[in-house]
Amino acid sequence: MLLYDTVISWDFSPYIFMILEIMHKIDTKKTIFALMSISKILEKDILSREDIITLLSSRDKDRTLLFKKSAEIKEQIIGKKVWFRGLIEFSNVCSKDCLYCGIRKGNKNLKRYNLSDEEILTAAKFAYDNRYGSIALQSGELESPIIADRIENLIFKIKDLSKGELGITLSVGEQTREIYQKWYDAGAHRYLLRIEATNESLYRKIHPENKKHDFRRRMECLKSLQDIGYQTGTGVMIGLPFQTMDDLASDLIFMKEFNIDMCGMGPYIEHADTPLIQYAADLLPLNERFDLTLKMIALLRIMMKDINIVAATALQAIDPIGREKAIMIGANIIMPNITPGRYRDSYKLYDNKPCTDDSAEDCQSCLEARVSLVDTEVIYGEWGDSQHYDKRRKSI
């Protein structure tokens, strides 16, 4: 008690400047030490789990060093370039009930749509006429022979209308190996299937517990896609409820070990009509989810220098120049939405999805201007394949 009284009644004023100076020196020393250690980590050829977590937690100057490094690698390996994939969200009908997704089967506050073949082909023709190298066909997940035949037929027709020139990426969820093969043989050559979360227990928390939402099956699907010969893309959501830094480090390590060719990852953004909304109050603030996503992209660019990385649209839902920031620090693919405007409002995977009232033409001119602002060139008329894929295939 006596000691406590002495300490609080002691007059610090004569010493205050001395104390502040000592504190400042300690702080400066700490900063120099941290900078040194971040620089050392960034020089390593292989990052450990601890290194990844340190970099994901970096702030201020450390964070700047991370972004500088990833931007340098992008410029050196890929160049200051981006390629477009015209995104056609051709149906929001889905048989699954992922707990985070706005178009899940259980959401009844939604008008379901399914574009006609003609509408899809018109959108593909728009991409071709505007010299986009590729398109991406995305939808909710449905497994049926009719759907499989329909998609095969569309691939033939898209190849036909573009004289074989348009590259085709598919993102239509889990299917059998035979169906993946059928679409590959028809001419699709890239597939995007996000693993969503590589920690199985986290995966189970964000999906219903049933056979339709089976982590192992999703992994097997990714393996089949890779075995068949697709440029294989995966990714995760960042800032999910229950997710830890260690989970995010595991996600990056998984992508490296699985040897993916492409990655599309973005911030998790809550949707009011989904079960996960109950955890909204526990989530990281949106700006922190955004920042973590940029760090994940930067780290992946450092760890896998020659893969294709998408600047996800969800980034723009948080920051109006979110995609451009992602391009500056490592992403090299943008997916301009070329879905006919009147359907876009019904493909809301998350709240505040941007550009839902734009047309395909609006998206193109807007994106081109945005990309040039960050001193990057849009490459037209090329597929923009993953360099990693070419090297991987040659080494098989």
- The strand pairing partners of 171, in sequence order, are 138
In our burial notation (b when 16+ CB lie closer than 10 A, e otherwise), range 92-104 reads: bebebbbbbbbbb
Q: Which is nearer to ligand SAH, 128 or 350 (CB)?
A: 350
Q: Is 302 in the site for ligand SF4 (CB under 6 A)?
A: no
Q: Which is nearer to ligand SAH, 47 or 225 (CB)?
A: 225
Q: Is 142 in the site for ligand SAH (CB under 6 A)?
A: no
Q: Kindly give, in sequence order, each residue whose CB lies less than 8 Å from that of residue 12, ignoring residues fewer than 6 positions away.
A: 19
CA distances from 372 to 72, 329, 355, 368, 379 (A): 18, 15, 19, 6, 12
Residue 104 binds which one of ligand SAH, ligand SF4, none, with CB within 5 to 8 A depending on kind? ligand SF4
> How far is residue 90's CA from residue 144's CA, in Å, rounded to a whole number?
16
What is the pattern of x (binds ligand SAH, CB under 6 A) and - over residues 308-347?
Answer: ------x---------------------------------
> How far is residue 159's CA from residue 145's CA, in Å, rounded to a whole number?
21
CA angle 9, 10, 14 (to 5 degrees): 140
Pairing relation of β-strands 377-379 and 134-139? unpaired
> How far is residue 62's CA from residue 33's CA, in Å, rounded to a whole number?
11
Q: Nearest approach, Cβ of 35 to ligand SAH (angstroms)?
A: 34
Q: Which is nearer to ligand SAH, 62 or 270 (CB)?
A: 270
Find tokens 């001119």 and name the residue.
365
> How far is residue 265's CA from residue 245's CA, in Å, rounded to a whole number?
15
What is the pattern of x (binds ligand SAH, CB under 6 A) and - over residues 185-204?
Answer: --------xx-x--------
> What is the footprint of ligand SF4 within residues 67-126 (CB under 6 A)?
94, 96, 98, 101, 103-104
Residue 88 binds which one of ligand SF4, ligand SAH, none, with CB within 5 to 8 A depending on kind? none
Residue 330 binds which one of ligand SF4, ligand SAH, none, with CB within 5 to 8 A depending on kind? none
> How far is residue 262's CA from residue 264's CA, in Å, rounded to a whole number?
7
What is the pattern of x (binds ligand SF4, CB under 6 A) and - over residues 330-359?
Answer: ------------------------------
Q: Is 237 in the site for ligand SAH (CB under 6 A)?
A: yes
Q: Which is nearer to ligand SAH, 229 or 275 (CB)?
A: 275
Q: How many CA atoms lie within 13 A of 124 on its CB side?
A: 28
Tell which one of 141, 251, 291, 324 touches ligand SF4 (CB under 6 A).
Answer: 141
> How far is residue 17's CA from residue 375's CA, in Å, rounded to a whole number?
46
What is the pattern of x (binds ligand SF4, CB under 6 A) and - over residues 169-188?
Answer: ----x---------------
Residues binding ligand SAH (CB under 6 A): 100-101, 138, 140-141, 171, 173, 193-194, 196, 237, 266, 268-269, 271, 314, 349-350
